[in-house]
Amino acid sequence: MIWYMSIRSLDRGVDRFKKYYPPDLPIAIVYYAGYPGKQRVLKSRLGNILKDVQKMDEKWLGLFVAGKCAK
């Protein structure tokens, strides 16, 4: 699954995902997708993604990728 979303509302999405998916589900957040000089990819797991996102500077928009393709 891939969503372009506000990082500020990520907690609501993660809460919903946790009802249906295991905590080890691979998750990636792509910041500035398509901008070669700025693009960054944060790889994590569903159980840790909220803590990992807090460490990043970008707080607004990101491409949320969930599933095996996020490995």
Domains of the chain: 2-70 (3.30.950.10)
pLDDT digits (tens, 9 = 90+) for 10-52: 999 899 999 999 999 999 999 999 999 999 999 999 999 999 9
Looking at residue 42, its pLDDT comes to 96
**pLDDT over 90 at 8, yes or no:** no
Q: What is the pLDDT of residue 45?
A: 97
* Full-model pTM: 0.87
| pLDDT given at position 47 | 97
Phi, psi of 20 (to 5 degrees): -120, -15
CA 70 to each of CA 7, 16, 27, 33: distance values in angstroms, whole numbers, following the listed order: 17, 18, 5, 14
CA-CA-CA-CA torsion sign (65, 66, 69, 71): positive
